[in-house]
Amino acid sequence: MIRASVRWLDRRTGTGPLVRSGLRYVFPDNWSFLLGEVALYAFMVLVVTGIYLVFFFQDSTATTTYHGAYGPLDGQQVSLAYQSVLDISFSVRAGLLIRQTHHWAADVFLAAIVLHLLRVFFTGAFRPPRTLTYYLGLTMLTFSLLEGYLGYSLGDDLLSGIGLAIGYGVALSVPFVGANLASLIWGGPFPGTSAFWPRIYIIHVLVLPVLIGTLLVAHLALVAARHHTQFRESSRHTERRIIGVPAFPGQAPRSLALMFAVFAVLFLLGGLVQVNPVWLWGPYHVGLSTNGAQPDWYLGWLIGALRLVPGFDVVIDRRTVIPNPFWGGVLFPGIVFGLLFLWPTLERRFTRDRASHNLLQRPRENPWRTAIGTALLAWVFLVFMAGSADRVDVLFGLDYAEQISVYRIAIWVIPLIVLLVTRRICTELQAADRVASVRRSALHSPKAGPKRGS
């Protein structure tokens, strides 16, 4: 039967040789190379569950009186969008499972991408000839952040509605053209025209998925064309020769297993752990808000940044040149992504290493990159933590205002310390490695003299 299928395929598509080399394609099988795959499988879950949700969601902010299955909202004015999300959650069989799986998949997808980015960065996998692959990945990350933000905002609940209002404040804060930009996006001042909701809907279900999907295909094609990088685990691993497991039969069951494991974890979370219970938040109205409103985790670094900046607008002659949210909402992510995008160029400039690399570096082998990368991560992480300082006050009694004052200093001091400490650790580890390898070669050397003590 397999023989018949193979002949069928080769005769109709002529892809016999391609499939043969594809199936014997060699993967270095380090576990950390699978993180991107985790993201890929989470993306598949997002697309499939998303398509299901599309068949039930109504992208309209026209109001209606709710008389659905959730009693505490009976008789309240809600938008059609919010009502459709409640119907999916309460009235469609398995609707809540699919909706929650979709939300968890987004959270885990971004976590996997961040882990994958960290692995790529700290092992130098972005170096030529893979810089284009790296830029595509970063672009996908940017799109994915926006995609997630728009996705959870579509429900028009109180929490995400507040998030959209803040997004509006950040758009307005772009110097000179902020209001024009916001007017373009919303169709006027917030909350915008009735066209705004279909706008963000179509961006979320069509424009961004197509963009991300296309970039993803290009990203994977590039990885395959240039072959995956590898660690120098022995002298047999070189820049010219890749050692690994073939796609078939070795890697295929592993990748399939990982795929089903991702599906398993996401559906288990989707069924067992409640996420974004919009019926508890209630519908969004311009005049309402709630304490403890937070964006989803992958935007938490931005709420931290917005809270940390002291209260001032930059005003010149009655023109508000730089409104306050600019620093935390535009400049901060701009610096982080700017550094990430520029890093390959900066590294090439400073190390004067323009060669192609197929071998990865262990983080310790590039102390400056590891130290600066860890310091940047510490900076972002501290700002992220500052965003939860109010919940820390509620739980542990540490005064919020004092926390903010401490964070304002810590976000500059601690990354500096982290930089120096990390660099030191790297050089120490390298020195230890050198000692170990000298010892190893001394023990195995044929010229070694008689062993001591014999």
Q: Is 319 helix (H, G, I), strand (E, B) or coil?
A: strand
Helix (H) or strand (E) holding 330: none
68 contacts another protein (rule: CB under 8 A): no
Footprint of another protein on 173-232 (CB under 8 A): 173, 175-180, 182-191, 193, 199, 225-227, 231-232
Cα separation, 144 vs 10, whole angstroms: 37
Footprint of another protein on 379-408 (CB under 8 A): 388, 390-391, 393-398, 400-401
The nearer residue to another protein, 16 or 342, going by C-beta atoms, is: 16
* Shortest reach from residue 173's CB to another protein, in Å: 7
Cα separation, 224 vs 190, whole angstroms: 46
Residue 270, CB-side half-sphere exposure with 13 Å CA sphere: 26
Six-digit token pair at 247? Answer: 């796609």
Cα separation, 251 vs 33, whole angstroms: 12
The nearer residue to another protein, 315 or 417, going by C-beta atoms, is: 315
432 contacts another protein (rule: CB under 8 A): no
* Shortest reach from residue 248's CB to another protein, in Å: 9
Q: How many CB atoms lie within 10 A of CB 411?
A: 20
* Shortest reach from residue 213's CB to another protein, in Å: 22
Footprint of another protein on 95-124 (CB under 8 A): 96-97, 100-101, 104, 107-108, 111-112, 115
Specify whether the CB–CB gap between 353 and 369 falls below 8 A: no
Footprint of another protein on 238-257 (CB under 8 A): 239-246, 249-250, 252-254, 256-257
Six-digit token pair at 228? Answer: 């995956």
* Shortest reach from residue 219's CB to another protein, in Å: 17
Binding mask 21-60 for another protein (x = CB under 8 A): ---x-x--xxxxxxx--x----------------------
139 contacts another protein (rule: CB under 8 A): no
* Shortest reach from residue 426's CB to another protein, in Å: 16
The nearer residue to another protein, 28 or 142, going by C-beta atoms, is: 28
Cα distance from N-terminal residue to C-terminal residue, the chain: 66
Specify whether the CB–CB gap between 371 and 420 falls below 8 A: yes
Sign, CA torsion 310/313/315/318: negative
The nearer residue to another protein, 296 or 347, going by C-beta atoms, is: 296
444 contacts another protein (rule: CB under 8 A): no
Cα separation, 428 vs 431, whole angstroms: 5
Instruction: Please report, for residues 40, 132, 295, the alpha-carbon distance to residue 273 in angstroms, rounded to integers and kept in the order given.
Output: 22, 38, 18
- Contacts for 12 with CB less than 8 Å, ≥ 6 apart: none
72 contacts another protein (rule: CB under 8 A): yes
Q: Is 128 helix (H, G, I), strand (E, B) or coil?
A: coil
Footprint of another protein on 278-307 (CB under 8 A): 279-282, 285-297, 300, 303, 306-307
Q: Which of 14, 17, 75, 446 binds another protein (CB under 8 A)?
A: 75
